[in-house]
C-alpha cells in the first residue's frame, strides 16, 4: 500500500472522514471525503418518481432501499480497496430534493403519499399566499401544498402534526431531530434572513388564513426547526444506524450537520455562497442561484427568494424540466444501435451526441423543442407535453436536433434569468455549473454560457454534485466543533476547500449567442403550441 492509501486508511480507522448522501430526482448518491475534502469512495442507487393518481411521488420504502443500497455500495468500495469494514465517519450530512409535502401525524405515520416538488396542483394556494405575503410563494413550496390541502378541505389536515421535506424526513429518522438547514427550510416557508428563522409576520398571516378556513393550525409546532450551517443537528441514533446500515457495522453517536436541500448543496459544491456568485444546477430540473448584494426592487412570480446554508438571501430561478426529454431521446438512439448489434457504453453515447450538437447550425436549423414532462410555471404551462416541432423547410439533422434539444433544457431558465440581469441589473462574474448536463466536457458549458451570456465554469469535483456538497457541510460542522473556529462557511470554502480548485471556465461565443437568440424567438412564439398540447392531448 502506497503512502497516500495508507493515509486514507488511517483516516478511515480514526473517524477523519465525512459522509454525504443526497437523494436526487433520479439517483441517490453517497460520497465519502477525507480531511483534504477529496472523495475517497462513493455509492449510488438509481430510482424514478412515479405518477400515481395524478401526483408525482416516491414511495418511502424506496427511500430506504435507495439509501441502504448507495451506502452498501460505498462500503463495498472501501472494503475492496482497503480491506476495511466502514464503521464511523467523523460526521454525516443528508441532502435531498427541496420543497414538496411530507405530512405526518403525532404517531409518525405518513398521512398522504409524498407530494414532490414536481407537482403543480397548488396554483390557487400559491396565488393567494403570494398576494397575502407580498412575497413570491412558488407552486412547489411546502407552504403552497399545505394551504392547497386546506382549501381542498382534505381530511388529513386535522391530524397533521409534522410537515417536512425529504431531507428533513431522513434526518428525523436517523437522529430523532425534527430540524432543517436554513436553505432547505427556505423552500418550505419564507425565511427572515435577519433572524435566521421563518418570517414571523408571514407565519401569523398563514395561521389567520388557516383559521378562516376552519383549521386552527400552529405552524411553529408543525414545521421543522431552522438551523444554519455548522450548528448542532443531533447524532445518529442506534435505530438510525440500523436503518442506514442493516449489516450492523455503522456505529451510533456520529454527529450530523443540518439537513439541506439540493439547491444549498449545489451552492456549496460550486463555492457559490458568497455575494456576486452564482451557480446553475442542471439535471431532471434546472435552477440557477444568485447570492444577492441587495434585495430585489419588487416581487417577481418567476423568482424565488431562498437562502444559502448560512442564511444569506438568494434569488433562485427554478424550472421543473431539464434533461428528462434529452435522456429519453438518447435512450431511443441507444435502442437503434442495439437493433444493429452495436453496444455503446452510456457515457460514450452521451459524449458523442453532445459533441454532435457543436456541429449543428448556431440557431438549430429551424427546429423547435419543448422538454416539458411536467408543467412549467415560468412559461405559464400547466401540463407538460414533450414536443419536437419543425417547418417543412427546417434542416433536420442529428447535429441540429441535438443542439436544439440541448437548447430546450436551458430555454425556460433563460426567461427567468433575464429578469435578474436585464430588469434588476444584476451582474455576475461567472456561474458555476454542476449536474448531469455538464458531465460531457465543454458542451453544456459552452451552450449555457451562450444562453445566459456569462462565463460558465465547471470544477473537477462537480461530477460528485450535491452529495459532495453535503459532505463538505458535514466537514464544516466537525471542524467548527473541534477548533471552536468562527470561520464563516464562505471563508471555509474559499480558504480551505477551493483554494486550489478554480475549475475550467468557458466564455460566451458570439456566434452561439446569436444562434441561441434566434432559437429563443421561436421558443417564445411557439409556447401557445405547448399549452394547446396540454389542453388537447389528454
Residues 427 and 477 in one domain: no
Q: What is the pLDDT of residues 287-300, one digit of tens each?
A: 899 998 877 888 99
Residues 263 and 405 in one domain: no
What is the count of structural domains for the chain?
A: 2
Residue 344 lies in a domain: yes
Residue 373 lies in a domain: yes
Whether the per-residue pLDDT at 361 is higher than 70: the answer is yes
Q: Are 354 and 436 in contact (CB under 8 A)?
A: no
Task: Assign 121 a pLDDT band (cuts: 50, 70, 90).
Answer: very high
Task: Assign 188 a pLDDT band (cuts: 50, 70, 90).
Answer: very high
What number is the average pLDDT over the span 500-529? 93
What number is the average pLDDT over the span 431-446? 90
pLDDT at res. 502: 63
CATH number at 359 reads: 3.30.420.40
What number is the average pLDDT over the span 360-366? 97
Percent of the chain whose predicted confidence (pLDDT) is above 70 = 98
DSSP code of residue 378 = G
Task: Assign 325 a pLDDT band (cuts: 50, 70, 90).
Answer: very high
Whether the per-residue pLDDT at 363 is higher than 80: the answer is yes
Task: Assign 113 a pLDDT band (cuts: 50, 70, 90).
Answer: very high
Residues 451 and 513 in one domain: yes
Percent of the chain whose predicted confidence (pLDDT) is above 90 = 81
- Grid coordinates representing 530 are 405547448
Burial annotation 436-450 (CB, 10 A radius, 16+ → b, else e): bbbbbeebbbbbbbb
Question: 292, 290, 316: which is closest to 303 by C-alpha?
Answer: 316
Residue 59 lies in a domain: yes
Residue 426 lies in a domain: yes
- Tell me the angle at which helices 166-175 and 60-82 cross, rounded to the nearest 10 degrees: 70
Residues 30 and 51 in one domain: yes
> The whole model's pTM is what?
0.81
Strands 313-319 and 304-307, how do they pair?
antiparallel
| List of residues 6+ apart from 288 with CB closer than 8 A | 278, 279, 280, 281, 316, 317, 413, 416, 417, 431, 452
Residues 333 and 454 in one domain: yes
Residues 393 and 521 in one domain: yes
pLDDT at res. 315: 94
Whether the per-residue pLDDT at 461 is higher than 60: the answer is no
Task: Assign 131 a pLDDT band (cuts: 50, 70, 90).
Answer: very high
Task: Assign 417 a pLDDT band (cuts: 50, 70, 90).
Answer: very high
What is the rounded distance in angstroms from the CA atom of residue 281 to the CA atom of residue 283? 7
Whether the per-residue pLDDT at 485 is higher than 70: the answer is no
pLDDT at res. 483: 59
Question: What sign results for the dihedral spanned by CA atoms 406, 411, 417, 422?
Answer: positive
Whether the per-residue pLDDT at 462 is higher than 60: the answer is no
What number is the average pLDDT over the span 121-131? 96
Residue 41 lies in a domain: yes
Residue 329 lies in a domain: yes
Task: Assign 436 a pLDDT band (cuts: 50, 70, 90).
Answer: confident
pLDDT at res. 4: 83
Residues 371 and 476 in one domain: no
**CA dihedral defined by 134, 135, 141, 142, rounded to 10 degrees?**
-60
Task: Assign 504 a pLDDT band (cuts: 50, 70, 90).
Answer: confident
For all residues of the chain together, what is the average pLDDT? Answer: 93
Q: How many residues does the chain have?
A: 538
Whether the per-residue pLDDT at 463 is higher than 60: the answer is no
Whether the per-residue pLDDT at 523 is higher than 80: the answer is yes
Task: Assign 484 a pLDDT band (cuts: 50, 70, 90).
Answer: low
What number is the average pLDDT over the span 129-153? 96
Backbone phi, then psi, for 435, in 5-degree steps?
Answer: 110, 175
pLDDT at res. 510: 97
pLDDT at res. 272: 87
Residues 326 and 391 in one domain: yes
pLDDT at res. 428: 85
The residue ranking higher by pLDDT, 359 or 465, is: 359
Residues 327 and 454 in one domain: yes
What number is the average pLDDT over the span 81-107? 96
Residues 393 and 496 in one domain: no
Residue 491 lies in a domain: yes
Q: Which domain holds residue 25?
A: 1-98+234-241+252-270+465-504
Residue 359 lies in a domain: yes
Q: What is the pLDDT of residues 75-86, one digit of tens each?
A: 999 999 999 999
pLDDT at res. 482: 67
pLDDT at res. 499: 83
Residues 378 and 425 in one domain: yes
| List of residues 6+ apart from 156 with CB closer than 8 A | 103, 111, 112, 149
Residues 71 and 88 in one domain: yes
Amino acid at each position: 500500500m502506497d503512502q497516500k492509501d495508507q493515509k486514507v486508511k488511517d483516516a478511515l480507522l480514526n473517524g477523519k472522514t465525512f459522509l454525504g448522501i443526497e437523494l436526487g430526482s433520479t439517483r441517490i448518491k453517497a460520497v465519502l471525503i477525507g480531511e483534504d475534502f477529496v472523495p475517497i469512495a462513493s455509492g449510488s442507487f438509481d430510482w424514478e418518481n412515479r405518477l400515481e393518481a395524478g401526483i408525482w411521488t416516491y414511495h418511502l420504502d424506496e427511500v430506504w432501499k435507495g439509501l441502504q443500497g448507495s451506502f452498501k455500495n460505498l462500503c463495498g468500495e472501501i472494503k475492496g480497496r482497503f480491506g476495511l469494514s466502514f464503521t464511523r465517519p467523523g460526521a454525516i450530512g443528508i441532502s435531498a430534493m427541496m420543497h414538496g409535502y411530507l405530512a405526518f401525524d403525532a404517531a409518525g405515520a405518513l398521512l398522504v403519499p409524498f407530494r414532490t416538488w414536481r407537482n403543480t396542483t397548488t396554483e390557487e394556494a400559491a396565488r393567494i399566499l403570494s398576494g397575502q405575503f407580498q412575497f413570491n410563494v412558488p407552486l412547489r413550496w411546502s407552504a403552497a401544498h399545505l394551504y392547497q390541502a386546506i382549501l381542498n378541505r382534505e381530511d388529513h389536515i386535522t391530524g397533521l402534526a409534522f410537515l417536512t421535506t425529504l431531507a428533513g424526513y431522513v434526518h428525523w429518522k436517523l437522529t430523532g431531530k425534527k430540524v432543517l438547514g436554513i436553505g432547505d427550510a427556505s423552500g418550505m416557508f419564507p425565511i427572515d434572513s435577519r433572524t435566521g428563522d421563518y418570517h414571523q409576520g408571514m407565519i401569523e398571516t398563514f395561521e389567520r388564513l388557516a383559521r378562516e378556513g376552519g383549521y386552527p393550525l400552529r405552524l411553529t409546532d408543525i414545521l421543522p426547526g431552522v438551523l444554519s450551517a455548522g450548528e448542532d443537528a443531533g447524532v445518529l441514533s442506534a435505530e438510525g444506524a440500523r436503518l442506514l446500515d442493516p449489516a450492523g457495522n455503522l456505529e451510533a453517536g456520529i454527529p450530523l450537520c443540518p439537513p439541506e436541500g439540493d439547491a444549498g448543496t449545489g451552492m456549496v459544491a460550486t463555492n457559490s455562497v458568497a455575494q456576486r456568485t452564482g451557480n446553475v444546477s442542471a439535471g431532471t430540473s434546472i435552477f440557477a442561484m444568485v447570492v444577492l448584494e441587495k434585495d430585489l426592487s419588487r416581487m417577481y412570480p418567476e423568482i424565488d427568494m431562498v437562502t444559502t446554508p448560512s442564511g444569506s438571501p438568494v434569488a433562485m430561478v427554478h424550472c421543473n424540466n431539464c434533461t428528462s426529454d434529452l435522456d429519453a431521446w438518447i435512450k431511443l438512439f441507444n435502442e437503434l444501435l442495439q437493433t444493429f448489434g452495436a453496444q455503446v457504453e452510456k457515457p460514450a453515447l452521451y459524449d458523442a451526441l453532445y459533441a454532435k450538437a457543436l456541429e449543428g447550425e448556431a440557431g438549430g436549423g429551424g427546429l423547435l423543442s419543448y422538454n416539458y414532462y411536467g408543467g412549467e410555471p415560468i412559461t405559464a404551462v400547466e401540463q407538460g407535453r414533450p414536443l419536437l416541432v419543425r417547418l417543412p423547410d427546417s434542416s433536420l439533422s442529428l447535429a441540429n436536433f441535438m443542439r436544439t434539444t440541448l437548447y430546450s433544457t436551458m430555454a425556460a431558465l433563460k426567461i427567468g434569468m433575464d429578469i435578474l440581469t436585464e430588469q434588476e441589473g444584476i451582474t455576475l462574474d461567472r456561474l458555476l455549473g454542476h449536474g448531469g448536463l455538464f458531465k460531457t466536457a465543454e458542451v453544456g458549458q459552452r451552450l449555457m454560457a451562450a444562453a445566459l451570456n456569462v462565463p460558465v465554469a465547471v470544477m473537477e469535483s462537480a461530477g460528485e454534485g450535491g452529495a459532495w456538497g453535503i459532505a463538505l457541510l458535514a466537514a464544516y460542522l466537525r471542524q467548527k466543533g473541534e477548533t471552536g473556529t468562527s470561520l464563516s462557511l464562505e471563508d471555509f470554502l474559499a480558504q480551505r476547500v477551493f483554494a486550489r480548485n478554480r475549475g475550467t471556465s468557458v466564455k460566451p461565443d458570439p456566434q452561439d449567442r446569436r444562434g441561441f437568440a434566434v432559437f429563443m424567438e421561436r421558443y417564445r412564439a411557439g409556447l401557445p403550441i405547448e399549452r394547446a398540447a396540454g389542453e388537447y392531448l389528454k
